Structure 1
């Protein structure tokens, strides 16, 4: 059976080691089912616990068949992974960044918003930017040359989003959180990853 493999990062063939099916009673007016699978990836041997759910409302109009909804553990196909070069981040910045990924995958929008604000604060502190509030800290990233003014202006959106989450306990929309996270990841790469990559390009440089 093809199931999402958290180790391979894609749907792969799995050997089913254990299976349990739960069904509604055949006399019930509404029909549903839940299939539980304990499986091993046929490629990398990683174990996965998968749950397949369906009900009569989920039928496919093209095939007339039931469309199942899948959940897989320890990680599902829709969960976000940290950026590949996250290991280049300073320890404190990396810790906050990983916790943001965890809160977003757990669908905790308020904590995600607060975390994004804390991430920007941690970047400013790491870069030894001084300021009495987050607005001045972000402006300091531009005046010190760490970021361009345009990048700092974009980063202010995190401040607004984080303020609402922290002070008004109001969550942003999932699409907004994803956009804010992608902005943050680009900022992280600009500050911490690109300078290290630049040092690897030596052709044509004057010693």
Structure 2
């Protein structure tokens, strides 16, 4: 290796092997009784100009056979710094995720990067535990992780397929903790992908689309907030149907539209929602569908019970 020579090196910014130029070099030869060469180099990526450190150890007394050329070459071991998890693009927007979960996630990534695969398996399991605690799934101290994952599915926080994948991580973590089974590197990469998708689905995506893309209304509190927002387009005394009030936003209610309207009528009748009053009921132009309930706009002031 010489200064300004081109070498193939892993780039921690490009996330792959790229051509690098040697910018700084210090070489140390081994002792007379065992022939080795140590190259310590500062290298620069020819693509993105990222600078890193490379250590290359050539063992002249341990030869490896290359069947393609039919020749023997000294065994070479290469490491680079800062050390990175090869092939992993860490694009998770961690500022959206609770601190206690991110602390476990980052420690697990450090263990994976350091090739501590047993601890990595334990860490991935711990991330699921941290999520369950944050989502208030874990109510009893003696409740095991299987029950907690099942509860996440029952509460519709995850799909059935996601629950199955989390059980796979639970098995891997249990084997690491209780049986000291070291997971395979390739299996841990799959698990990391599952974990990051879960964190994105639970914490990141909803925050990213706030004030932008429309999302489904999950409960009456969200429906009430939507009503209050849409009411600003009308004046006191207007008589409107729910369809007219919501217009295209009605699609955000999904199959819960009728249940939300029933709860709205109940809250109007009991005085728990005072911005609208019950108006007349008119026949639906489509004879196959129920009659239409109309509402009268009564109040456009701030709703203290709405969720924001």
| Superimposed CA distance per residue, residues 79-107 of structure 1 (whole angstroms, 9 cap, x where no aligned partner) | 74533323322111111111111101111
Gaps of 5+ in 1: none
| Superimposed CA distance per residue, residues 59-80 of structure 1 (whole angstroms, 9 cap, x where no aligned partner) | 6444558485421111257374
2:213 corresponds to 1:201: yes
If the length of structure 2 is used for normalisation, what is the TM-score?
A: 0.56
The answer as to whether partners of 2:122 and 2:176 remain within 8 angstroms in 1 is: yes
More helix by share: 1
2:174 alignment partner, one of 145, 152, 163: 163
Q: CA deviation at 1:148?
A: 1.2
- The separation in 1 between residues aligned to 2:78 and 2:90, in whole angstroms, is 22
The answer as to whether partners of 1:15 and 1:41 remain within 8 angstroms in 2 is: no
Gaps of 5+ in 2: 1-5, 216-246, 251-308
- The separation in 1 between residues aligned to 2:65 and 2:95, in whole angstroms, is 44
2:47 corresponds to 1:35: no
Who wins on radius of gyration, i.e. which is larger? 2
Which residue in the other structure is 2:12 paired with? 6
If the length of structure 1 is used for normalisation, what is the TM-score?
A: 0.79
| Superimposed CA distance per residue, residues 9-29 of structure 1 (whole angstroms, 9 cap, x where no aligned partner) | 45354452232142576xx8x
Which residue in the other structure is 1:146 paired with? 157
2:104 alignment partner, one of 92, 96, 111: 96
Which deviates the most, 193-202 or 149-158? 193-202
Which residue in the other structure is 2:186 paired with? 175
2:203 alignment partner, one of 187, 192, 195: 192
- The separation in 2 between residues aligned to 1:77 and 1:13, in whole angstroms, is 19
Q: CA RMSD in A?
A: 3.2
Give the secondary structure class of the aligned counterpart of 1:138: helix
2:109 corresponds to 1:129: no
- The separation in 2 between residues aligned to 1:36 and 1:8, in whole angstroms, is 22
- The separation in 2 between residues aligned to 1:61 and 1:77, in whole angstroms, is 30
Give the secondary structure class of the aligned counterpart of 1:83: coil
